[in-house]
A and B are shown apart, each in its own frame.
Chain A
Amino acid sequence: MKRHLLEAADLDRDDATLVLDTAAQIEQALAGREVKKLPTLRGRTVVNLFYEDSTRTRISFELAAKRLSADVINFSAKGSSVSKGESLKDTALTLEAMGADGVVVRHSASGAPHRLANWVRGSVVNAGDGTHEHPTQALLDAYTIRHRLGRLDGVRVTIVGDVLHSRVARSNVVLLQTLGAEVTLVAPPTLLPVGVGSWPAEVGYDLDAVLPKSDVVMMLRVQGERMNASFFPSAREYSRRYGLDARRMAALPDDAIVMHPGPMNRGMEIAAEVADSVRSTIVEQVANGVSVRMAVLYLLLGGAAQ
């Protein structure tokens, strides 16, 4: 494996499979235990560097690092020297001087983790950069699919919604393709990025036509906070054309599952009754996130320094 995890393309098929297998073994080893802690990363320091608001990803990484006995330092831009104007590079050098073995970074600028990787000696894990990538989310999604359906090869995954602003979609397309799944993107034309034709995925605009041929439907959050123009006429119209409600869910094959990276806009891209149905893996995805992030931290930080 490479020293950093910056984008889904850093993982070839063997590496990605190793991460998923390791996560499965860790989950199995911790299942039903009272002491959910492993001594593996004792004495190592992991810094969570969050320039953007996040609840589940930061907590998930924090829990993963703590379960491996690493020391965790949480750094959020609010209330830190960043609000006094410190640059990313100076912050990185400060962390370097304090001896961070791993840096988990979330930043609103696409590519920030790549820059950071040139400045620090430790491993950098991208926890979401702008509208670019979120590789650990793609790993936990792949893990969830494999867990539920028993395989990834040939699984038909449909990703629906705000692809334009979604780092989750981009990472998932790359990783799922690496692992042999077939990905279809469905979105209003205004919410597809330029150059989507070159992605290793089919593109469609009619959700109802694709649903019967989907083993997995992944609904994306409509990212209102990143929308600086009107991409669709109204929430109601978006919901009618691209939202997943009970009627559409009924069109899915029997064993198909419904995923969402969270946080959800209930009633917008996903109806409450769908989110709470047995097909929904949304809560499972959160739990799997901890195992997958433990696997990533173990594989990047567990061995000898390279």
Chain B
Amino acid sequence: MARTPEPARSPSPGSAPGTLLTGADVARVIDRIAHQLIERAASVTAGRDAPAGDATGLSSLVLVGIPTRGAPLARRLAARIEAFSGITVDVGTVDITLYRDDLRLRGVRALESTVLPDGGIDDRLVVLVDDVLFSGRSVRAALDALRDLGRPHSVQLAVLVDRGHRELPIRADYVGKNVPTSRSQQVRVHLAETDGVDEVLVTEGESQ
């Protein structure tokens, strides 16, 4: 039986280079994901023993950012959830450098901080937060790190941009924006905390 020829990987259509999300877009996307998290926290934790007085399920939620830019994103999401629901959710960061599968392919890099809420993550709803979902390898490394840190009730993933080209069976539960890209393109997320400005850019070229 003749197989349909695989579509050529490159040049795939991609997006036009330029600004993908402006500062206002970023803020809107974060607001939307915050609302989705509030909705889903209630259903994911429904039927489980929630602390008295917490019908929202938000007290079991922990937002864990993947450095560099996932960390400020997690803090912003927490701030918006607090603004919308009045409930303070726990925030943490988990550095994945020591769990990467490409350490041997590159030079060593400096580590970033790993901070978890005092109570740990056992039996909680952990939502990993990252800026761009690409191959899925960072998320896999983060899942490996979480396994050493505790045993969450469940783990979900929130990303600002999903640019496709997955190399592992991983998907995001909350996506700010889906962007078709070609492999040769770069998606750059800039945040006020780390880069002085909120924006998401698509550029051509492999440079990093």
Tell me the A residues contacting B by CB distance below 8 Å. Answer: 1, 18, 21-22, 25-26, 28-29, 32-35, 37-40, 68, 298-299, 302-305
Closest-CB distance, B161 to chain A (whole angstroms): 27
Known: A38-B98, A38-B99, A39-B98. A33 touches B111 (CB 8 A): no
Chain B residues packing against A (C-beta within 8 Å): 95, 98-99, 103-115, 120, 144, 148-150
- Closest B residue to A38 by beta carbon equals B98
- Could you tell me if B107 and A303 are in contact, using CB atoms closer than 8 angstroms? yes
Compute how far the CA of A70 lies from the CA of B130 in the bound complex, rounded to whole angstroms: 29
Q: Known contacts being A33-B149, A303-B107, A304-B106, is A39 close to B99, with CB within 8 Å?
A: yes
Q: How far is the CA of A1 from the CA of B98 in the complex (A)?
A: 18
**Bound form: Cα–Cα A304–B108 in Å:** 7
> How many A-B pairs with Cβ below 8 Å?
55
Report the minimum CB–CB distance from B69 to chain A (whole Å).
18
Task: Check A303–B111 contact: CB distance below 8 A.
Answer: no
> In the complex, A126→B61 CA distance in Å?
47
* Closest Cβ neighbor of A35 among chain B residues: B148
The 3 tightest CB contacts between A and B, nearest first, are A303-B108, A25-B111, A29-B114
Instruction: Please tell me if the beta carbons of A29 and B98 are within 8 angstroms of each other in the complex.
Output: yes
Asked if B144 and A39 make an inter-chain contact with CB atoms under 8 angstroms apart, the answer reads yes
Nearest CB of A to B196, in Å: 23
Q: A303 and B114: CB pair below 8 A?
A: no
Query: How far is B108's CA from A21's CA once the two chains are assembled, in angstroms?
Result: 14
Which residues on the B side are within 8 Å of A35 (C-beta)?
148
Given A39-B99, A40-B99, A40-B103: A298 touches B108 (CB 8 Å cut-off): yes
- Greatest chain B CB density within 10 A among A22, A29, A38, A303 is at A29
A303 to B113, Cβ gap below 8 A?
Answer: no
Taking A21-B110, A29-B111 as given, write out 5 further A-B residue pairs in contact, using a Cβ cutoff of 8 Å, ordered by the A residue number: A33-B149, A40-B99, A299-B108, A303-B103, A303-B109
